[in-house]
Structure 1
């Protein structure tokens, strides 16, 4: 599998992100959906990556710089055909390594509290993320679960 920087112009990537947003709105109230659309993911403080198995999109992940010390994990998604095949683990390790290389001291994330998100929370815990309170511009929300990983 090859993970590379992505300019968010390819149809496969856009379709995967649209699927991601649709699932987020199907599982959480609109005011609790913090997933970003394609336009928002093109912000200058966000780096977006896609994972490919040959010519087939396997998944994606983004990292958002909140400041010089803290980054946020965004838009991690595995394509349906690749679920259970280690893509999520590879993407998460990649983005952790990327955050360390960029000198961030912590990597945080927001995910849902619903059962749908339980596998994601388990994966994050497996990589050392621990529960935390809201960070950045987030506020307490019964539908949001916050986690962080100290990088240094």
Structure 2
């Protein structure tokens, strides 16, 4: 993301903020080694945000991102959330991520809690 996103449009949480009680952090492992991660942030009311999701570059194309997304959606449902939103990049390098989210029922929406309009961002949301 740092390669083609201006610093003011990078919305990832600093590592220290992932330890917040409002964050659920999932790690995907294969034979004990981490291969992917995802973070779910509880927003006000019954909303949540997929705050981060990443699979190691050498492991992409194996369906792991889809599995992580399914796990994050399941975690949100189990936590009583009724809406799940996310922010991702508008650049071509994020095309696969946007397609993954759209295939999982996410649709483009306007900025949500804590965000403003940003030409480098695509906002997506879905009901649970």
Same fold (TM over 0.5): yes
Which consecutive residues of structure 1, in runs of 5 or more, have no partner in the other structure?
1-23
Distance in 2 of aligned mates of 1:96 and 1:34: 20
Tell me how far apart the structure 1 counterparts of residues 123 and 57 of structure 2 sit (CA, whole Å).
25
Q: 1:115 aligns with which of 77, 92, 116?
A: 92
Aligned to 2:31: 54
- 3-state SS of 1:134 partner: coil
The answer to whether structure 1 residue 76 and structure 2 residue 53 are counterparts is yes
Q: Which is richer in helix?
A: 1
Q: 2:108, 2:85 → 1: CA distance?
A: 10
Give the CA deviation at 1:55. Answer: 2.0
Aligned partners of 1:34 and 1:40: how far apart in 2? 12
Task: Indicate the SS of the match to 1:85.
Answer: coil
TM-score (norm 1): 0.82
1:145: which partner in 2? Answer: 122
Output one character per residue of 1:11-51: Cα deviation in whole Å (capped at 9) or x when no partner. Answer: xxxxxxxxxxxxx2222100000011211211221111100
Distance 1:55 1:100 in 2: 27
Superposed CA RMSD: 0.8
Q: Which runs of 5+ in 2 are unaligned?
A: none
Distance 1:147 1:120 in 2: 11
Aligned residues: 128
Q: Which residue of 1 aligns with 2:103?
A: 126
Q: Which runs of 4+ in 1 moved over 6 A?
A: none
**CA distance in 2 between partners of 1:58 and 1:68 (Å):** 32
